[in-house]
Structure 1
Amino acid sequence: MKQLTTPYGELTLDRYPRTTDKNLQAWDAADSYLLNNLHERGELGRVLVINDTFGTITTAIHDSDVTLWSDSKLAEIAVEVNYGHNLFPLHYTFVPSTELPHGRFDTIVIKIPQTNAYFDDILSQLPLLMHEKTQLVCGGMVKFWTNSWPQAVADRIGHSDCSLTWKKARLIFSDGSQLPAKQKPIEQASYDVEPLDMTIRKLSNVYGQGYLDIGARILMQELVPFDDVEHIADLGCGSGELGLMALKMNPKANVEFIDESYQAVLSAQENVAANLPDCLDRCRFTCNDGMINKPRSLYGAILCNPPFHQQQTIGDHIAWGMMQQARRALSNHGELWLVGNRHLNYHVKMMRLFGNCEQVGGNKKFVVLKSIKQPQTKDSSPVRPSESTNGASQQSPYGAARRNSKK
């Protein structure tokens, strides 16, 4: 945990999931720039905060009438954890990206996402949430800045202005005075996947817009049927290609699609409905922080194409957490199939966790690994802090009701 001084007071903040890298913190200069600007505005009225990765902005303005609109289950947990660190009552509303917040807002704050398609998707929906006096402010870091950002705001909201650079961050301003009468429709990404003989569609914030991730493709080529396995998980499912392959290859197995992105989970559900509708009764779709709160020793096989970054931070801490969770959730003799970049050396961690690791495929860049949970190994592998009780509500079935603690 680290301390952040803001115009709203001193805050104790932590990243979620926690990391051992002491150089990483739960905010950047764009968060601070946004908070300074909000404080200068005075009374904010009803506030909508969008894409607040670790809940820094939401936590700072906790005394306001705040709604957090996010695609991330990790962000949902992060804001709850950081409210707890500062002993703030949970008086905010959480709305997943797959739902539209209720009513109109006086102030809208966007931490600009790394995916331009998702930013445009957000902006296209804002006229439904704005009135003519609504103030909009968006923040981002200069190293990721593109001129398409202010142009997108102007196209969707009617006009935009930009701030000067402050500590390598910039802001974009607009308001509801010139809202366009019509919005250009969002085009959903789609493509054909030859190994599945299916058309896959993705919502705007799902990784790999318009193409099948090469790691997923390589893992799909190596998969074999899992004899007598009743429960399979596609962990970090994205748009669901690995789970769809598992459904085709294992006609009696139940498959759970798990991701921390609400849009990913919905995309996976829609892809199963469109391509294998008769298999829906064998599926479960869960937005969750990996396999936290999943039953121990339930799954006979877990398929995983883990991310190697969280927002712009590159590392293997997310993958390491997913491996630990998978081991806990696997039944004896259950198999973890994982694909990753060869240079990340995932085999070392899998050998450490399982006592065995076999390379079953790959190419010069990627490697497909398999580990089997041995019955003689006690189920006592270390877990990251997020798996212990930390005050965060981690139950996240598909379609879960939004948080609304404000009285």
Structure 2
Amino acid sequence: MSADTNLFDTPFGGFSLHRYPPRKKGGQAPLRAWDAADEYLLHWLHDNQDLDVANNRSLICNDAFGALSLALHHLHPVNQGDSWLAHRACQENLAHNGMSGDNVVCIDSLTTPEQTLALVVIKVPKTLALLEDQLYRLRPRITENTCVVAAGMTKNIHTSTLKLFESIIGPTRTSLAKKKARLIFCQPQPQQWQHQSPYPSYYTLENSGYRIGNHANVFSRANLDIGTRLMLEHMNALPGADDIIDLGCGNGLLGLMAKARQPESRVGFFDESYMALASARENLQNALGPDALNDCQFLANNCLEGVATASADLVLNNPPFHQGNVVGDHIAWQMFQDARRVLKPGGQLWVIGNRHLNYHTKLKKLFGNCRVQGSNRKFVVLVTTCRT
């Protein structure tokens, strides 16, 4: 990819932006690190707003790769989101452009900004529940004088999206569409605020009695998804393991049930979602007691980056097949490669996936072996063994 392709030209200056993580094969992913909604929003802010905002009184939500944070870095904004990868991308792009990382304060989706906000900029996320929770969390830090403006591609902005802004924050209107992007303007009306966030939500895990909690951005937060159910049905066949990893843990059910079966094991929960890790920690503590946390760790990370080679006996994996709105198998492939590196000789990787994704082909190529542990019409549980 040429350098020009990475140049993000804005009214606030030009920036060289890259997606994170980069593809390990074939160089940089052939997608830009920004979209037309970022461009539309920055042009509107430049033309319509007095941006003489005191440090840390502007908030940017869901900035995927730092495009908004870099363009508005002079405001010393707070960058809030649920993605560790997005925060890492922002910091990498700041450094790549010779800008201090201190210009942007990154906080997770469960942390409330410290100051009353004058400006709130939101990229509409893929998950409507995440947006709902974020809007509720914003309310303690905004007033009727706060400028709240959101942006997204038109395909991601629906009547339900606008109703959330309207019901949680205040009167809402939209802009005309430009390049398939649209802006949302919302006028806070604190005097009319009533309801509180419905998250986290809970359900009772079948055949266990465990009360499972899920923050807003957790996959299948209302009930047990059918892929995980299939994996749980076969966990009595898990090999004995001292060190277990739940990779892409979500709400932590796989790691939790492995720990319940092997109480002396050490379990690492890895995910890029802060809400997923918070859910996994809460679920483990509620199900197995606070002492269970002593042998476990919960790490926001890029798959298993930085984890010691040949340090795990067993990796459990329910890989996602998208990063934001981009669908593909590149995340699964990275997870499989990382699992092979961190497994000890003789260690096993257990994978649950949709049958049509053909993960067995990738696993055989990488490990030299793969067997079917269980399957149904839609999902398959695959097991591979690390030979070296």
In structure 2, distance between residues paired with 1:98 and 1:22? 30
Kept in 2, the 8 Å contact 1:239–1:268? The answer is yes
Kept in 2, the 8 Å contact 1:196–1:245? The answer is no
Whether 1:252 aligns to 2:260 is no
Q: Report what 1:53 is aligned to.
A: 64
Q: Report what 1:381 is aligned to.
A: none
Q: Report what 1:396 is aligned to.
A: none
Kept in 2, the 8 Å contact 1:153–1:160? The answer is yes
Q: Report what 2:51 is aligned to.
A: 43
Kept in 2, the 8 Å contact 1:157–1:180? The answer is no
Change (3 A) 1:34 1:106: same
Over aligned residues, Cα RMSD in angstroms? 1.7
In structure 1, distance between residues paired with 2:135 and 2:227? 31
Change (3 A) 1:196 1:286: farther
Q: Report what 1:8 is aligned to.
A: 12
Deviation track 1:247-272 (CA, whole Å, cap 9, x = no partner) reads 12112211111111001000011111
In structure 1, distance between residues paired with 2:17 and 2:381? 37
Question: Shift in Å at residue 282 of structure 1?
Answer: 2.4
Residue identity matched to 1:83: L
Name the structure where helix makes up a greater proportion of residues.
Answer: 2
Residue identity matched to 2:40: Y
SS where residue 133 of structure 1 aligns? coil
Whether 1:345 aligns to 2:353 is no
Report matched runs for 1:303-314 at 5 Å.
303-314=316-327
Deviation track 1:97-139 (CA, whole Å, cap 9, x = no partner) reads 1211111121110001111111111111212111332111011
Whether 1:208 aligns to 2:217 is no
Whether 1:144 aligns to 2:152 is no
Report matched runs for 1:185-200 at 5 Å.
185-187=196-198, 188-200=200-212
Report matched runs for 1:246-285 at 5 Å.
246-277=258-289, 278-285=291-298
Kept in 2, the 8 Å contact 1:44–1:107? The answer is no
User: Which of 163, 186, 191 does residue 174 from structure 1 map onto?
Assistant: 186
Residue identity matched to 2:51: E
In structure 1, distance between residues paired with 2:360 and 2:65? 30
Question: Shift in Å at residue 25 of structure 1?
Answer: 1.6
* Length-normalised TM-score, structure 2: 0.92
In structure 2, distance between residues paired with 1:208 and 1:227? 27
Report matched runs for 1:30-179 at 5 Å.
30-40=37-47, 41-45=49-53, 46-90=57-101, 91-176=103-188, 178-179=189-190
SS where residue 224 of structure 1 aligns? helix
Change (3 A) 1:246 1:100: same
* Length-normalised TM-score, structure 1: 0.88
Change (3 A) 1:155 1:348: same
In structure 1, distance between residues paired with 2:208 and 2:330? 31
Change (3 A) 1:196 1:304: farther
In structure 2, distance between residues paired with 1:43 and 1:206? 35
In structure 2, distance between residues paired with 1:205 and 1:62? 27
Deviation track 1:241-300 (CA, whole Å, cap 9, x = no partner) reads 101110121122111111110010000111111111142222222121211111111110
Q: How much identity, in percent, do the aligned residues show? A: 40
Residue identity matched to 1:239: N
Residue identity matched to 2:251: S
Kept in 2, the 8 Å contact 1:33–1:169? The answer is yes
In structure 2, distance between residues paired with 1:247 and 1:335? 16
Kept in 1, the 8 Å contact 2:124–2:157? The answer is no
Kept in 2, the 8 Å contact 1:68–1:93? The answer is yes
Question: Shift in Å at residue 343 of structure 1?
Answer: 1.6
The number of aligned residues is 374
Structure 1 residues not aligned, in runs of 5+ = 376-407
Change (3 A) 1:227 1:145: closer
Residue identity matched to 1:326: A
Structure 2 residues not aligned, in runs of 5+ = none
In structure 1, distance between residues paired with 2:76 and 2:215? 29
Q: Report what 1:390 is aligned to.
A: none
Residue identity matched to 1:88: M
SS where residue 361 of structure 2 aligns? helix
Kept in 1, the 8 Å contact 2:310–2:344? The answer is yes
Kept in 2, the 8 Å contact 1:225–1:249? The answer is no
Residue identity matched to 1:43: L
In structure 2, distance between residues paired with 1:208 and 1:256? 21
Kept in 1, the 8 Å contact 2:374–2:382? The answer is yes
Higher relative contact order (CA 8 A, sep 6+): 1
